[in-house]
């Protein structure tokens, strides 16, 4: 049973997974910056402190959550 779980969790193309994860981080950062500018910016060109704080939270929280999940997965094995 454990072998099946390990096989299912092991990517067939680890290099492709690494490229997708590395490409995903800048994509997420740009998406968050655009969304914060659209929803919080209210037409201003320069971001305010609230805009910057929202960007930091929306970027840091998912990365921290992913690191915690990865640590939990590593600890299980």
User: Rounded to an integer, what distance in angstroms lies between the CA atom of residue 68 and that of residue 43?
Assistant: 36
- Crossing angle of the two packed helices 49-76 and 14-39, in degrees rounded to 10: 150
In which domain, by residue range, is 34 found? 2-76
pLDDT digits (tens, 9 = 90+) for 26-61: 888 888 888 877 777 666 778 788 888 888 888 888
Give the per-residue pLDDT at 50: 82
pLDDT value at position 41?
Answer: 66
pLDDT band at 3 (very low <50, low <70, confident <90, very high): low
- Domain count along the chain: 1
pTM (2 decimals)? 0.55
What is the C-alpha to C-alpha distance for residues 55 and 63, in angstroms, rounded to an integer?
13
Task: Please tell me the distance from the alpha carbon of residue 32 to that of residue 25, in angstroms, as a whole number.
Answer: 11
CB 10 within 8 A of CB 41: no
């Amino acid at each position: 049973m454990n072998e099946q779980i390990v096989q299912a969790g092991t990517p067939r193309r680890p290099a492709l997974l690494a490229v997708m994860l590395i490409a995903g981080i800048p994509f997420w950062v740009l998406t968050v910056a655009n969304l914060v500018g659209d929803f919080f910016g209210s037409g201003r060109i320069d971001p305010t402190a609230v805009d910057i704080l929202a960007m930091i939270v929306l970027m840091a929280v998912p990365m921290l959550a992913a690191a915690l999940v990865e640590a939990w997965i590593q600890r299980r094995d």
